[in-house]
Amino acid sequence: MSGIIDSYIPVAIFLVVALVMPPMTMFMVKQLSPRSNAASKYTTYESGSVPTGTARIQFNVEYYLYAIAFVLFDVEVLFLYPWTTVYKGHGITSIAVVEMFAFIFILLFGYIYLWKKEALTWVK
């Protein structure tokens, strides 16, 4: 058990560094960089025009059906991961293959259904 924990200790160290490094860099930049104040400098950039309205709107996500399909298939991939480790050398190879193919086959059905339903086209 401790072996597994051990292998994540470097991860923790790197995580701390990742958390600290960008703020540190920005702090250094603050010390080094010049500063000036001009109101128009701090407006949002929109090709030199004054922006009309805010960018925080109810964005029309034209691919929400993809997102749902994505969740579906990503879960499929997640189920495949454990399978890979038991595929070889556990004496259950043939059963694993058959089961896995049954699983993929069912999902494939769903995929074909999605395609036929035109869920995989960009909604205008």
Partner 1 sequence: MNENLEPNEMIIHLGPQHPMQPGPFRLNLRLNGETVMGAEIELGFIHKGIEKILENKTYLQGITIVDRICYLVALTNEECFVGCTEKLLGIEPPERSQYIRVILEELTRIQSHLLGIGEFGEFIGFVSMFMYTIREREEVLGLIDMVTGARVTHSYLKFGGVRADLPDGFKEKTISVLNNLKKSVDDFEEMFHTDRIYRERTVGVGVLTADVAKNLGVSGPALRATGVPFDIRKNEPYLVYKDLDFKVCTETAGDCFARVQVRLNEIRESIYILEQCLDRIPNGPLFPENTPYSRRTPVMRVPAGEVFHRVEDPRGEMGMYMVSDGSDKPYRVKVRGPYYPTLQALPPLIIGTTVADVAAISGSMDGCTSEADR
Partner 2 sequence: MTIISEFIVPFLPWIRGIVGLALIGVIFLAAMGAVWLERKLSADIQSRMGPCRVGKYGLLQLVADAIKLFTKEDMKPSNADSLLFNNATIFMMGSIFLMLVAIPVGAVFVNGVEYPLAVTEMDISVLYIEAMSAITIFGIFMVAYGSNNKYSLLGAFRNFARMVGYEVPLGITVVSVAVMTGSLNIVDISRSQGMLWNIFLQPLGCFVFFVALMADMGRLPFDQNESEEELIAGWITEYCGMRFGLAFFAEYIHMILGSFLVALLFLGGWNVPGFVANNPVLGLIAPTGFLIVKVVFVLMVIIGLRWAVPRFRIDQVVDLSWKRLFPLLC
What lies within 8 Å, CB to CB, of 69 at 6+ separation is 111, 114, 119, 120
103 binds partner 2 (CB under 8 A): no
Tell me how far, at minimum, the Cβ of 36 lies from partner 1, in Å. 21
Task: Please report, to the nearest 10 degrees, the dihedral formed by the alpha carbons of residues 102, 104, 106, 107 taken in order.
Answer: 170
- Chain positions 28 to 57 lying near partner 2, rule: CB under 8 A, are 28-30, 32-36, 39, 41-47, 51, 54-56
Judged by CB under 8 A, which stretch of 3-11, 50-58, 80-88, 100-108 contacts partner 1? 50-58
Residue 21 has a CB neighbour count (10 Å cut-off) of 10
Given partner 1, partner 2, none, residue 65, with its beta carbon under 5 to 8 Å by kind, binds none
